[in-house]
Amino acid sequence: MDKKEDMIAKIKEAGLTGRGGAGFPTGVKWEMVKSQKADKKYIICNGSEGEPGVFKDKYLLEKYPEVVVEGIKIALETVDHSLAYIYLNKEYYKQFSKKLEKLCDGLPIVIFEKKWGYLGGEETAVCEVIEGKRPIVRKKPPFPGESGLWGFPTLVNNVETFYHVGRIKEGNFKNTKFFCVSGDVKKECVWEFPAEYTIRQVLEETGNFPEFDFFVQAGGGASGEILLPSELDQEICGASSIIIFNKEKTDPYELMRKWAEFFLEENCDKCVPCREGVYRISEMVKTEKLDREFLNELFFVLENTSFCSLGRGVAVPFRSLINKVL
Ligand code: SF4
């Protein structure tokens, strides 16, 4: 076994899965890119966090940028003939690009500023943006691992995933995850816990389990599901974010209007179900007159016919809030 295969074997053995939300096994992804026959290959470290309540990559770029860069370096050594991009949203670019440039000095790594919103963080949209185009999601397959940037095999992982690869190399990986806790809390914070921790464990161990009547939004401040206190004995899907809402102080319609604005602003208008569906939802939450039967049909259409995960995920927060809180 050569050194490159050895690193992939170590990642597989560690059981690392992508920390961007999809949870795909990292070692399998790396192996797929490595096994492609191509003159060029690319690596993208995705630091484009754009959903409210998600700020763990920011925390890692602030506290441990050298470990993140170490993870990218390992990817460069493992995937031959490659060039890497660190893809950052505007705020992170402003804050971290100088420090990262210093850390990457002499390495084939480009620090790239994302000029677009949330959708520009989806892995195929990232490829479009780096190629100088609008962030339009590509049809999959082919996956970026087979055909990504300019048609070449491209390994896309987020900041936290590269951070953990760096920790595997150091022999210091403990299968942890970074959790963002925000909302009605004393202080917004990022915490590191075992990956399998439940929402209840995270809230209890951080001293954030509310004494007031509450609900949470887990997995992202737009696309995350609303959960009641009786539903917290589960792991978080999607981004590891938990937002706490004081039930008495939260206006559910105001919350839904915020989500609707987010999706109206961030969708790309490419496909009818998402473009029209989000518009209809936003009109309904504005008037505060919900036609539940119509909404159920709309959610079904969004989930089953939208082109990308943004449109497919729109129903989750609205449906769970309407069914559980209203
Ligand atoms: S689902 Fe929404 S964001 Fe995705 S391609 Fe369609 S319009 Fe664009």
DSSP letters for 74-100: HHHHHSTTEEEEEEEEHHHHHHHHHHH
Residue intervals in the chain for CATH 3.40.50.11540 = 3-170
CATH, range 3-170: 3.40.50.11540
Residue 118 CA to residue 134 CA, distance in Å, equals: 12
CA angle 141, 142, 146 (to 5 degrees): 145
Give the pLDDT of residue 5.
65
Rounded to the nearest whole angstrom, what is the distance from the C-alpha of residue 136 to the centroid of ligand 1?
A: 8
**Going along the chain, which residue ranges are E strands?**
41-47, 82-89, 109-114, 154-158, 176-183, 189-194, 214-218, 225-227, 241-246
Atom nearest to 269 CA in ligand 1: 7
Residue intervals in the chain for CATH 3.10.20.600 = 176-246
Give the pLDDT of residue 27.
96
Q: How many residues does the chain have?
A: 326
Instruction: Give 86's Cβ-side CA count (13 Å radius).
Output: 32
Beta carbon of 269 within 6 Å of any ligand 1 atom: yes
Candidates 47, 134, 38, 119; CA nearest to 82 is 38
Beta carbon of 274 within 6 Å of any ligand 1 atom: yes
Dihedral angle, C-alpha 49, 299, 136, 178, nearest 10 °: 20
List of residues 6+ apart from 17 with CB closer than 8 A: 23, 24, 25, 26, 195
Candidates 94, 17, 21, 15; CA nearest to 56 is 21
Give the pLDDT of residue 1.
57
Scanning the structure block, which residue is given the tokens 């899965």? 17
Rounded to the nearest whole angstrom, what is the distance from the C-alpha of residue 302 to the centroid of ligand 1?
A: 10
The residue whose CB lies within 8 Å of the most ligand 1 atoms, and thus the one to mutate among 128, 269, 314, is 269
Residue of minimum CA distance from atom 4 in ligand 1:
308
Atom nearest to 308 CA in ligand 1: 4
Instruction: Give 310's Cβ-side CA count (13 Å radius).
Output: 31
Beta carbon of 268 within 6 Å of any ligand 1 atom: yes
CATH 3.10.20.600 fits 176-246, yes or no: yes
The residue whose CB lies within 8 Å of the most ligand 1 atoms, and thus the one to mutate among 269, 298, 306, is 306
Beta carbon of 119 within 6 Å of any ligand 1 atom: yes
In order along its 326 residues, the chain shows pLDDT tens digits of 566 669 999 999 999 999 987 789 999 999 999 999 999 999 999 999 989 999 999 999 999 999 999 999 999 999 987 899 999 999 999 999 999 999 999 999 999 999 888 887 889 999 999 999 999 999 999 999 999 999 999 999 999 999 999 999 999 999 999 999 999 998 889 999 999 999 999 999 999 999 999 999 999 999 999 999 999 999 987 788 999 999 999 999 999 999 999 999 999 988 999 999 999 999 999 999 999 999 999 999 999 999 999 999 999 999 999 999 99
Give the pLDDT of residue 4.
62
Rounded to the nearest whole angstrom, what is the distance from the C-alpha of residue 88 to the centroid of ligand 1?
A: 22
Token code pair at residue 298: 């709309």
Token code pair at residue 93: 């670019």
Rounded to the nearest whole angstrom, what is the distance from the C-alpha of residue 273 to the centroid of ligand 1?
A: 8
Residue 296: strand pairing partners: none
pTM above 0.75, yes or no: yes
CB of 111 closer than 8 Å to CB of 117: no
Buried b (16+ CB within 10 A) or exposed e, 68-96: bbbbbbbbbebbeebbbbbbbbeebbeeb
Residue 326 CA to residue 322 CA, distance in Å, equals: 5
Atom nearest to 270 CA in ligand 1: 7
